[in-house]
Amino acid sequence: MSKLISDKTKQVFLGPLSKNNPITVQVLGICSALAVTAKLMPALVMGISVTIIVAFSNVIISLLRNTIPNRIRIIVQLVVVAALVTIVSEILKAFAYDVSVQLSVYIGLIITNCILMGRLEAFAMGNKPWESFIDGLGNGFGYAWILVVVAFFRELLGSGSILGFKIIPKSFYDAGYSNNGLMILPPMALILVACIIWVHRSRNKELQEK
């Protein structure tokens, strides 16, 4: 095990969770962060699906990296991602029909997620399969936790619930509190992501531009 998780691999895994986060530092995958974070549940499923797909497409591309013709490498990456996404969505349709009806749009959206192409091109094309797998997991989780935090606040303040359960007690509403409709709209996701970036940069001074 000690050989499997060397210092470098650890760095590959932990980097994207904070100092090299795909959303807050690399600013990739913002589009889907806006689309699926109005409620917590789709954000969770999206985070998990992206993690699985980025990890496995990283491995596949890493295995093929020495055979892929340079001129069509983007196409090859795209085909691998699209095939994986299609398989995941077919499996969901067969074994979790209700979930797939709710999420079909989001699952299809994974193909267009910039994190996937970014990681395939920047990491998997030049690294061994095991490290690529870890890199995929790290970036997937780095993406997922931002989504979950944003979705948590948007659902809490926008709908007064968490995972569909009412959290804000009725007495609050009676006293004049009302849900913030702005939270449901996409621009609020950008503002929340910006708040996370603000906190993140003030704690990690080396990320600040001069």
Partner 1 sequence: MNTNKNSYTLIYAVVMVVVVALLLALVSSGLKEKQNENIALDKKKQILSSLRLDMSGQDPAALYDKYIVKELVLNSKGDVLSEKRGDAFAIDVIKQNAKPLEERQLPLYVAEVDGQTKYIISVRGAGLWGPIWGYIALDDDKDTVYGTYFSHESETPGLGAEIATRDFQNRFIGKHIMNAAKEFVSIAVMKAGKVDGTRDQIDAISGGTITSKGVQAMLEKSIGQYEVFLKQ
Q: Which residues bind partner 1 (CB under 8 A)?
A: 38, 66-72, 75-76, 79-80, 83, 86-87, 90-91, 93-95, 97, 101, 105, 184
Based on CB atoms, which residue is closest to partner 1, 101 or 199? 101
| Distance (Å, whole) CA 59 – CA 132 | 6
Selection from 38, 34, 57 nearest residue 132 by Cα:
57
Selection from 89, 84, 109 nearest residue 99 by Cα:
89
CB 138 within 8 A of CB 144: no
Based on CB atoms, which residue is closest to partner 1, 186 or 194? 186
Supply the minimum distance, in Å, between the C-beta of residue 2 and partner 1. Answer: 36
Based on CB atoms, which residue is closest to partner 1, 142 or 160? 160
Query: How far from 70 is each of 28, 109, 210, CA to CA, in Å?
Result: 24, 26, 36
Supply the minimum distance, in Å, between the C-beta of residue 78 and partner 1. Answer: 11
Supply the minimum distance, in Å, between the C-beta of residue 171 and partner 1. Answer: 24
Supply the minimum distance, in Å, between the C-beta of residue 94 and partner 1. Answer: 4
| Distance (Å, whole) CA 52 – CA 142 | 13
Based on CB atoms, which residue is closest to partner 1, 72 or 191? 72
Residue with tokens 């797998």: 133
